Amino acid sequence: MTNENCSFPAGTVGNATCDIMVYKGTEKLSLSIGTITHDNGLAGLPTGMSIDNPVSISNNVATLSIHTTNTFNSNGELNIPVTADG
């Protein structure tokens, strides 16, 4: 990941981009992104947060574009399942 931590203060508008790549040694592998969940598997995203869908994948790089609005008021983590070479 090009950005392991994207933090957004509650109640603010924000944007972040993160690229995901998978390597085996020096070889960049193909990848896919599964269903993104938050806080131990809860479906969907927190209120006020969105991720461009579908996730852009080009040259074996997945790009996540994450956005928050002023209604974003949650804390926690996103779970982003990545499947490599498969």
Give the tens place of pLDDT for each residue, 19-41: 999 999 999 999 999 988 887 67
| Contacts with 64 (C-beta within 8 Å, 6 or more apart), sequence order | 17, 18, 19, 20, 33, 51, 52, 55, 80
pLDDT for 31: 95
Say what the pTM is.
Answer: 0.79
Is it the case that residue 1 has pLDDT exceeding 90? no
Is 8 within a domain?
A: no
- The rounded mean pLDDT for the chain is 86
Give the tens place of pLDDT for each residue, 67-79: 988 888 877 788 8
- Whole domain around residue 75: which residue ranges? 14-84
Is 5 within a domain?
A: no
Looking at the structure of the chain, the number of domains it has is: 1
